[in-house]
């Protein structure tokens, strides 16, 4: 293997060879990102989820600032004059200082009690006002939701799906709509949009979701986007999105047995 005249170099050369290999190994370990790029998928998921809950905070923020100014203006002017009028006529009637003091104490207690009562009344008023407002808001929101849902339903559940949803109440329908949107958002996060080209293809899938959120069977393509790679990309995204988000009520879960989803991946 090694010639006689090479003996003097062999040790040095061996060490160099090992150093070269270690350097290559280190270079590979440093220069490559050996972690798979899956975090990218999760990031898109988070971004898309942000849109949905945005509807709720808007409801909570609006009622708080409005009721307070309204309530404070109305009740405060009323109670204050009442408090000041009552004690003044009573003071001059009393002669003895002790009695004065006693009465003063009593008056103070009365004042405190009255204040308490007024506060309670105030709070009741406030709460009522708040509840009224909330009720109105909720009703308005529900009306909006229902209308949006009706439109959605008309769009998405043209044929057989409409029968199922007719049976469900309006509240249930809103929940179903909400979760349908959630399911679509989750799937949308997993779609590889580059596979769907530049246009705005539309495709429809029918899926049946088990109560666990798992799919039963594979998604059925109802309307293709005329682009088989795009169809496959969406199908893979649907499978990758398991478990799908479902409402907690068991009777609502049954509504997702036959779910028709419409996708526009490039929206």
Quote the least distance from Cβ 191 to another protein, whole Å. Answer: 13
Largest Cα separation within the chain, whole Å, is 133
- For another protein, the binding residues (CB under 8 A) are 2-3, 5-6, 9-10, 12-14, 16-18, 20-21, 24-25, 28-29, 32, 34-36, 38, 218, 235-236, 239-240
Residue 261 has φ and ψ, to the nearest 5°, of: -115, 140
Complex with another protein: residue 142 or 236, whichever CB lies closer: 236
Complex with another protein: residue 40 or 98, whichever CB lies closer: 40
How far is Cα 99 from Cα 110, in angstroms, rounded to an integer? Answer: 16
Three-class DSSP labels, 145-189 = HHHHHHHHHHHHCCCHHHHHHHHCCHHHHHHHHHHHHHHHHHHHH
Complex with another protein: residue 18 or 139, whichever CB lies closer: 18
Quote the least distance from Cβ 12 to another protein, whole Å. Answer: 7
Quote the least distance from Cβ 239 to another protein, whole Å. Answer: 6
Quote the least distance from Cβ 258 to another protein, whole Å. Answer: 21
Complex with another protein: residue 17 or 139, whichever CB lies closer: 17
How far is Cα 125 from Cα 131, in angstroms, rounded to an integer? Answer: 10
How far is Cα 261 from Cα 157, in angstroms, rounded to an integer? Answer: 9
Complex with another protein: residue 11 or 95, whichever CB lies closer: 11
Residue 86 has φ and ψ, to the nearest 5°, of: -65, -50
Quote the least distance from Cβ 147 to another protein, whole Å. Answer: 38
């Amino acid at each position: 293997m090694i010639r006689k005249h090479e003996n003097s170099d062999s040790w040095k050369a061996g060490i160099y060879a090992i150093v070269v290999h270690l350097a290559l190994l280190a270079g590979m370990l440093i220069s490559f990102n050996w972690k798979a790029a899956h975090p990218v998928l999760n990031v898109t998921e988070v971004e898309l989820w942000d849109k949905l809950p945005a509807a709720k905070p808007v409801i909570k923020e609006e009622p708080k600032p409005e009721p307070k100014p309204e309530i404070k203006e109305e009740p405060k002017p009323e109670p204050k004059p009442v408090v000041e009028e009552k004690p003044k006529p009573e003071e001059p009637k009393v002669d003895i200082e002790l009695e004065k003091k006693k009465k003063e104490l009593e008056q103070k207690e009365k004042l405190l009690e009255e204040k308490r009562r007024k506060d309670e009344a105030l709070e009741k008023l406030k709460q009522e006002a708040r509840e009224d407002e909330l009720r109105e808001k909720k009703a308005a929101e529900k009306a909006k939701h229902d209308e949006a849902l009706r439109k959605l339903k008309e769009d998405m559940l043209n044929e057989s799906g409409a029968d199922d949803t007719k049976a469900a109440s309006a509240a249930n329908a809103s929940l179903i709509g909400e979760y349908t949107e959630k399911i679509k958002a989750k799937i949308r996060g997993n779609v590889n949009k580059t596979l769907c080209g530049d246009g705005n293809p539309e495709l429809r899938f029918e899926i049946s979701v088990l109560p666990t959120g798992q799919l039963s069977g594979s998604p059925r393509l109802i309307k293709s986007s005329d682009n088989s790679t795009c169809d496959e990309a969406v199908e893979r995204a649907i499978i990758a999105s398991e478990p799908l988000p479902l409402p907690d009520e068991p009777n609502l879960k049954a509504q997702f047995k036959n779910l028709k989803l419409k996708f526009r991946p490039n929206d």
